[in-house]
Amino acid sequence: MYASVRLIGPRECMGFSDFQFVPRPGRDARRFPARREMYCYLKDFCAAFRLAGAVRLNTKVVHVAMASSPEARAGDVKWKVRSVRVELDGGEEVDVEEVFDAVVVFNGHYSQPRLPSIKDPPGNQIHGERHVTATGGVEASIQPRRHLHPPVDRLCSDGTVAFADDVVVAADTVIYCTGYTYSIPFLDTAGLVTVDVDHVGPLYEHTFPPSLAPSLSFVGVPMGVFAPWFFEAQARWIALVLTGKAALPPETEMMTAVEEGRRAMEIAGAPAKHTHFIPAGVKPREVWEFVYRHSDLPRMEDWKVELFTTSNLKNAMEDREAYRDRDDDSESVREGGRRWRRVAGAQYEAALAAAGRGGDHAHAHHDDAGVAAVRNMQPLLPAPCQFSTLNGATPQKI
């Protein structure tokens, strides 16, 4: 999580189903809190469900490949996983290789910047990952204050930036707000799954590669959804399938569904980068439908759906700068929120108490967006910003 992050989704809609993201005494109680609050919530979640023993921190997966021959059918495939322990000084220790019946990949896709290929770019360049902005494209800063323009037409080697409205400015710094690329460098599927900047596939419902399902699956590939709520739904679906409580369609049917999705995108003229975009911002119902079709998550209550569509969609469209600090909920959202804080708050405390850890006020520390240093936060891996290597990236067969 970047130092400057302040959440863009309302906390009421984001948390895990059985451990809601309720405000805690002495912490950042805002509906859209900053990163420390998210960090404290995840730590509490781990404590409440005693996950520490099930997770190997500071461990980097360096290679995942089929242990059996690629011809083996999906149900028989086993996976070799090689990992190394990463020391805090960046050093790496001996490899460990283990064999598993199934692998679920969830390595995130917001760390490898997607950069345009520019031969002789002007001035300083920064990717927007550390300078979060609500607008996409390329932002040219010519003065300390911010100037927003229509799309950039070209960056010129004399240090100027030409915008689509024919305005040309001299840029001290260019900040690329051009998003991120998918990257799963450690996964070797003998070419059965392809990863490129815009997509991972073929994936049935963004989760299972038909020819390797269910032994290989992916959580977190979709975009435009709330984390961790949506990813909990994916994880639950995978767990149901792996434990035999739910069945996938036959491989050919899954492939047909993938193909139909691809054709529908083509007909709609949608760009490739929307392959995994589940359009919460366009058709929010599709997000719910996905979750209820595949997982056993309870339906989101009406007041949360209303909150999601107003605070997150309508208000954000109206005023991207200030929507997170509005205080004009409808009466139904207010009432739902009051009940939620009472009931889910009690569940939160009870879960922590049962795990032997009361409300953790040691975290208490209000973190205004991006200004305060966060104590005790060590990234699992070194920050993966590889600025220059991405120019001209080609699709990667894995």
Ligand X SMILES: Cc1cc2nc3c(=O)[nH]c(=O)nc-3n(C[C@H](O)[C@H](O)[C@H](O)COP(=O)(O)OP(=O)(O)OC[C@H]3O[C@@H](n4cnc5c(N)ncnc54)[C@H](O)[C@@H]3O)c2cc1C
- The 10 Å Cβ neighbour count of residue 212 is 23
Phi, psi dihedrals of residue 96, rounded to the nearest 5°: -120, 135
Q: Which of 23, 121, 202, 220 binds ligand X (CB under 6 A)?
A: 220
Which lies closer to ligand X via its Cβ, residue 134 or residue 354?
A: 134
Q: Which of 49, 110, 288, 340 binds ligand X (CB under 6 A)?
A: 110
CB 345 to ligand X: min, Å = 21
Residues in region 8-67 near ligand X by CB under 6 A: 8-9, 14, 60-61
In 3D, which of 237, 311, 315 has the Cα closest to residue 14?
Answer: 311
Q: Which of 26, 108, 159, 370 binds ligand X (CB under 6 A)?
A: 108
DSSP alpha helix (H) spans, the chain? 35-48, 229-242, 251-268, 284-294, 302-307, 315-318, 331-354
Residue with tokens 């991207």: 320
Closest CB to ligand X belongs to which residue?
A: 108
Draw the binding track, 355-394, toward ligand X (x: CB under 6 A; -: no contact). -------------------------xx-------------
Amino acid at 369: A
341's tokens:
């804080």
Q: Where are the beta strands (DSSP E) in 29-123?
A: 59-66, 79-86, 92-100, 103-105
Draw the binding track, 64-103, toward ligand X (x: CB under 6 A; -: no contact). ----------------------------------------
Contact 150, 161 (CB under 8 A): no
Which lies closer to ligand X via its Cβ, residue 108 or residue 123?
A: 108
Q: Does 186 bind ligand X (CB under 6 A)?
A: yes
Sheet holding 152-155, edge to edge: 152-155, 160-163, 168-170
CB 83 to ligand X: min, Å = 7
Q: Which of 162, 177, 192, 227 binds ligand X (CB under 6 A)?
A: 227
- Contact set with ligand X (CB under 6 A): 2, 5, 7-9, 14, 60-61, 106-108, 110, 132, 186, 220, 226-227, 231, 380-381
